[in-house]
Structure 1
């Protein structure tokens, strides 16, 4: 099943603290052309145009002229999304919604959350939000209606045992877990800390995770940064400092004049909490920004191995300036260097031990869940690779849905207790993804390589 928490999604690689000064400086004479253009449009354009629209267009144009994908103008929902990502909190009801083959249902509830207090239960079917049906909506569309400003009220109608129930609750501040922990299946003395982003609570959650794993018997740690797009430098500095001796370099930040600030490990970041146990770090092509700062710091200053694939390669730093209540500018202000002075921008960090996901684990998803005999597409090719990984016999993944693929689909559907139609649907694709997700968890090459390394060190 596809589950989505009622949270805000993150974006790729921002860093440092939001401390840009947005105050207006002296306007250069060249900007008279901008004002002249504005006046011409306001006075002579064939239909009325709002000054706000023109101003936003000018700002967006200036940001686009930089040719920097990480320098952007954010307004309204985009601003709220970044703010939620930085804080790892949002206005919500503390529930997770998942899509089944026929409806949306509540998958989990946070203890003490508005949803739990209102009487919502796991398994409730989501019917309406504030009186408007969401039964034909996707998970993300329904979730966006439930989220909102902290302190505001939302009414969710659910179906339970054939009856409709209206549950009214006040949205509260919900904090996202950016760090999850587990013990390695093959060696319970190895703890795994997976960091999904670097947000305001991440360093505290990491520290709590290390303590919890120690109590469970962990003597060595794997820090999984795969798929982590980055985040706040402050939290990367704190976690980086925890794994280094005081005085060792975490990162160097260089502004446009060439002036370099060196950040070193110490109590100002880790408050005396250290992780002295053996470490290994997992990275991949989606590990970026703050993820690369942490990985580079531990690799070059402590010799921690990087296991996986070459990282994304984002060597710049952004700050955020709020320019109005509903808008802000995210601007690249510096570049960062590893402790040894390397700028990894557009190059990434090379792994010490290279491992990669199998082809079936690299499938990004399906654009359609409905495939049948005679179809030919990239989705069919992905389906064939996935079915092969699930143990079905398909001689060649050629992208053509022929009789052999049809038979494989029927066999898979029968094994999963689904109608053996020989055509894929939402239920078939979800069952396939679930099976392969479980297989990946049990056969993770990077985790296995990290455990093997740590057992020898």
Structure 2
């Protein structure tokens, strides 16, 4: 590790918030979405290209293009404008682009400019990275990151015994360069992930900005196979158990249920669930976990749109519970607890089972579907809002903890899993709360 004092910081210790963040996200490196439903969708790309290139504003309509467009004057004017832009780029852009490249740019623009931060176009490479990450196995450095509120890629957790931890990377570090390429202007986490990932055993050069010291630091980290353990648990004291849920990736529900059962066998009467820095995962995993913890109850009400029609439905748990009806929970949340974490925490809160401790959560109360296209690329579309059992929609609001507790300054830069009980004032508050329950 070398101090890179030759760089002049492009932002101070507290990076300025861009006036208009481009595709702001809080997705962690695994790019989890609250609800990620994979749909196979085949496009007849050849026919689409031919129809578009044959467009003439004065002769053809939306129907002639093979698109379900109205033939009103406003729509025809917009089509004519699009054709004019296409022609100007084709004739005057400094690079000679193929038609396929231009249509790819149009596809990305159509989705990315809808004005919703979670709706976006994914290349085939980005889509594949999501699938690999959600499986919990990949070759990389073992740093969990998110696009923070200021649109910088920030490390939120360093996996224990990973190359990242061994190299000295810390929670709160911000990526600025990867193998010499400036990534401060990148619009999404997946683009940075594509550079950091690579073949096992190969080195990756990083330049990070460390706000705690207001300095840039260079690292060379050797990639390894990473198995991201989504669940970590242990007994605490006085009949209390602790479960850290790092994400809601594939298979986490089964591991969670096994952890709860093991802690119960060891004498746990009440549990602490830690979803700090957990930015989401698969809905079916969350539902399975809540079904295990709850009697017959409402998990959430969904209001959205599908196949051109509005719909509303409820997610519910079954009558049988996997735990004692007397078991209660303290849930630790912070500003990077989002989407699936908020559904999990809010549902248990509203069903009278959990006490929330920590800081205001992020506020993602919407769901997306991931629609895979024939070439491996995909689009993430926000298609519903969810409402907690108490009726709240937390989109852009988040969950307010029952008990607000912040971590001390000496905990900055330390992974949650490495905090001592003295440093982890939020966990200490959870233990104190659960001790008051008979």
TM-score category of the 2 structures, normalised to the smaller one: 0.5 to 0.7
Residue in structure 2 matching 1:142, options 206, 218, 222? 222
1:348 positional shift: 0.8
| Paired position in structure 2 for 1:445 | 425
Residue in structure 2 matching 1:217, options 267, 277, 291? 267
**207-216 or 219-228: which moved more?**
207-216
1:334 positional shift: 0.7
SS at match of 2:301: strand
| Paired position in structure 1 for 2:163 | 97
Matched-pair contact (CA < 8 Å) for 1:242–1:275:
no
| Paired position in structure 2 for 1:15 | 35
Q: Deviations over 1:117-166 (max 9, x none)?
A: xxxxxxxxxxx9789666999778632xx56xxxxxxxxxxxxxxxxxxx
| Paired position in structure 2 for 1:171 | none
| Change over 3 Å in CA distance of 1:31–1:82 after alignment to 2 | farther
Distance in 2 between the 1:45 and 1:98 partners?
Answer: 41
Residue in structure 2 matching 1:349, options 384, 399, 405? 399
1:177-256 map, 5 Å: 177-184=229-236, 187-246=237-296, 248-256=297-305
| Change over 3 Å in CA distance of 1:447–1:56 after alignment to 2 | same
SS at match of 1:85: helix
Matched-pair contact (CA < 8 Å) for 2:301–2:314:
yes
Q: Which runs of 5+ in 2 are unaligned?
A: 2-27, 45-65, 70-75, 143-160, 170-197, 208-217
Residue 126 of structure 2 is aligned to residue 60 of structure 1: no
| Change over 3 Å in CA distance of 1:304–1:130 after alignment to 2 | closer
Distance in 2 between the 1:102 and 1:316 partners?
Answer: 36
**22-31 or 10-19: which moved more?**
22-31
Q: Deviations over 1:190-222 (max 9, x none)?
A: 110110111111101101111222233222111
SS at match of 2:38: coil
Q: Which runs of 5+ in 1 are unaligned?
A: 2-7, 104-127, 148-173, 366-432
| Paired position in structure 2 for 1:305 | 355
Distance in 1 between the 2:426 and 2:302 partners?
Answer: 30
CA RMSD of aligned residues (A): 3.6
1:89 positional shift: 3.2
**Which structure has the bigger radius of gyration?**
1
Distance in 2 between the 1:96 and 1:102 partners?
Answer: 10
Distance in 1 between the 2:206 and 2:37 partners?
Answer: 41
1:320 positional shift: 0.3
Residue 67 of structure 2 is aligned to residue 26 of structure 1: yes
| Paired position in structure 2 for 1:319 | 369
Q: Deviations over 1:64-104 (max 9, x none)?
A: 3211111111114422332223332336899942565799x
Number of positions where the alignment pairs a residue of Structure 1 with one of Structure 2? 323
Residue 346 of structure 2 is aligned to residue 296 of structure 1: yes
SS at match of 1:19: strand
Matched-pair contact (CA < 8 Å) for 1:12–1:288:
no
Matched-pair contact (CA < 8 Å) for 2:304–2:385:
yes
1:32-51 map, 5 Å: 33-35=81-83, 37-42=85-90, 45=93, 47-51=95-99
| Paired position in structure 1 for 2:435 | 455
SS at match of 1:192: strand
Q: Deviations over 1:26-45 (max 9, x none)?
A: 35265464455435533565
| Change over 3 Å in CA distance of 1:135–1:48 after alignment to 2 | closer
Distance in 1 between the 2:282 and 2:80 partners?
Answer: 37
Distance in 1 between the 2:330 and 2:434 partners?
Answer: 7
1:19 positional shift: 2.9
Residue in structure 2 matching 1:86, options 114, 134, 137? 134
Query: Could you say which structure has the higher helix fraction?
Result: 1
Matched-pair contact (CA < 8 Å) for 2:304–2:310:
yes
Distance in 1 between the 2:397 and 2:167 partners?
Answer: 42
| Change over 3 Å in CA distance of 1:62–1:136 after alignment to 2 | closer
TM-score by length of 2: 0.64
